[in-house]
Amino acid sequence: MLSVLPKRKISKVLIFVILGILLLALSSFVFANDPNGAATLKKDANAPVNYTWTLICGFLVVFMMTGFAMVETGFTRATHANNTMLMNLMVWAFGTLGFFFVGFAIMFGGVGGAYADLSKLLTIHIGGKAWGLLGGTGFALAGHTYDVGIFMLFLFQAAFMDTACTIPTGAMAERFKWTAFIVYGFLMGGVIYPVFGNWAWGGGWLSQLGQIGLGAGYKDFAGSGVVHAVGGVTALAGAIILGPRIGKFIKGKPVAMPGHDLGLGVIGTCILIFGWFGFNAGSTMAATDLRLAVVATNTMLAGCAGGLTAMLYMMKTTGKPDTSMSCNGVLAGLVAITAPCAYVSGLSAVIIGGIAGILVCIAVWLFENVAKIDDPVGACSVHGVNGLWGVLSVGLFADGTYGDVKGIIFGGGWGQLGAQAVGALTICVVIFLLAFIIFKIIDKTIGLRVSAKEELMGLDMPVHGALCYPEFALSSLGVPQSYPDEDGNKSATVSKSISKGV
């Protein structure tokens, strides 16, 4: 539809729509709730320490974009580095603004308790019970959401949203069209992420599964599902529609396309470890919940265990400690522990992380060799597969010492695992389809993929007009700009060689 309208008209319409929203919102600021925090402080003497904890942890989560930028760029190729880097920065800008104007209201605009003001929840009634579907208060943080508590919640959650947004840019690296990327960024922050977010964290139906006997309802402490699996399946949908990079599969066999700066990837992984403490431990959103110490420790242990098992698995299968898979192992352990981090013991964290480290190695191999999907940095395996593993592990390892969540191993029965399975299935089906449809629409209107010529040049020059490393001699700049086609035919022309299947 967008392609039907003349371009000039669109941008004018857009500007008026934006201006309209701005004015509407600006006028509503007279209804501010507690914008300077004086009333909140009076009610709750622990507010300062809780705000301190939550916000600093939120800052750490924002910092994770640095790590993602480095991992995704380091593990892809030099002539796309500028593009991959800038995507990671700009997806934060687009996603955050999408979340500010729309997404936050959808996700949290119906939550009870501390944020009772955000009360417009779209609900449906099934079996005599009310099930939350979507929120609807808090657009642009205007009106009575101009409140210190809401702003704190927004900052923390916006940081999480950005993590989900940045996962697909890894799987879709080196061939994602810039204008399509802009649209994706706003929709991921404004729609895709907040929908499941509402169901799990915004008081929606998944969190209410306890009312039909499924344990304590879907439990996802810091977002193995909400953030990572949602990001992972969105990445998968994007990677499928985009198709593999030119030259990735020759006669159906995957060709290695090594990252151009593995050290950058390692450093990015280290930064992500740091940020993950904020991600998981900060999810108590209160310093008075001292379980945060267990959460932080479990996070570290699972990351270590994932790195160890992935490294050992690669040494066993290839004879060599592989750098990128060791990093992915650490990240897989961190992703997996993200849901259960508050509900399990240190030893369980080691086991969950250890399994994740092996899972990620197997998943990367399967995606590449069996499903023939080109995921340059393994985002679907790290975040998708291990996000789902993390969600399920709550139903296994939760030991009942926190929040009355108990898994099978510790005698909690099948209820909790059931709730977790429903959540995991919802991500795999509903969110995958939502993402798939959105990418498909983008593909059919403005196009999702760069031209083959741009891709073969490396995106930096044609898209951004500048190489990332203009003074360094790169072997990749000197090689002939053509690849064999899928049948291994060397004479493949550029126009033919852009293949989306395998």
Phi first, then psi: give them for residue 145, nearest 5 degrees: -90, 0
How far apart are alpha carbons 463 and 165 in whole angstroms? 21
How many Å from the N-terminal Cα to the C-terminal Cα in the chain? 30
Residue 235 or residue 273: which is nearer to a copy of itself going by CB? 273
285: which residues sit within 8 A by CB, 6+ positions away?
Answer: 50, 53, 54, 153, 156
Q: How far is the CB of 387 from a copy of itself (least distance, A)?
A: 21
User: Rounded to the nearest whole angstrom, what is the least distance from the CB of residue 133 to a copy of itself in the complex?
Assistant: 26
CB 386 within 8 A of CB 307: no
Nearer to a copy of itself, 30 or 370 (CB): 30
Q: Which is nearer to a copy of itself, 25 or 430 (CB)?
A: 25
Least separation, in Å, of the C-beta of 152 and a copy of itself?
A: 4
Q: Are strands 249-250 and 129-135 parallel, antiparallel or unpaired?
A: unpaired
Contact, 66 vs 278, CB < 8 A?
no
CB-based contact 1:445 (threshold 8 Å): yes
Nearer to a copy of itself, 220 or 261 (CB): 261
Name which of 296 and 394 has its Cβ closer to a copy of itself.
Answer: 296
Q: Enter the DSSP assignment of 459.
A: S
Burial class (CB in 10 A: 0-12, 13-18, 19+), 17: exposed
Smallest Cα–Cα separation from 378: which of 424, 315, 329, 337?
A: 329
CB of 468 to a copy of itself, least distance (A): 5
Using an 8 Å Cβ cutoff, are 158 and 227 in contact? Answer: no
Q: 216 in helix, strand or coil?
A: coil
Q: How far is the CB of 154 from a copy of itself (least distance, A)?
A: 6
As measured in angstroms, the least distance from the Cβ of 135 to a copy of itself is: 17
Task: Name which of 264 and 379 has its Cβ closer to a copy of itself.
Answer: 264
Which residue number, 471 or 487, has a Cβ lying nearer to a copy of itself?
A: 471
Which pair of structure tokens corresponds to residue 461?
Answer: 């020059």
CB of 121 to a copy of itself, least distance (A): 22
Return the bridge partners of 130, or none.
125
Q: Which is nearer to a copy of itself, 154 or 201 (CB)?
A: 154
Q: Name the minimum Å distance from CB 124 to a copy of itself.
A: 31
Tell me phi and psi for residue 446, to 5 degrees: -95, -5
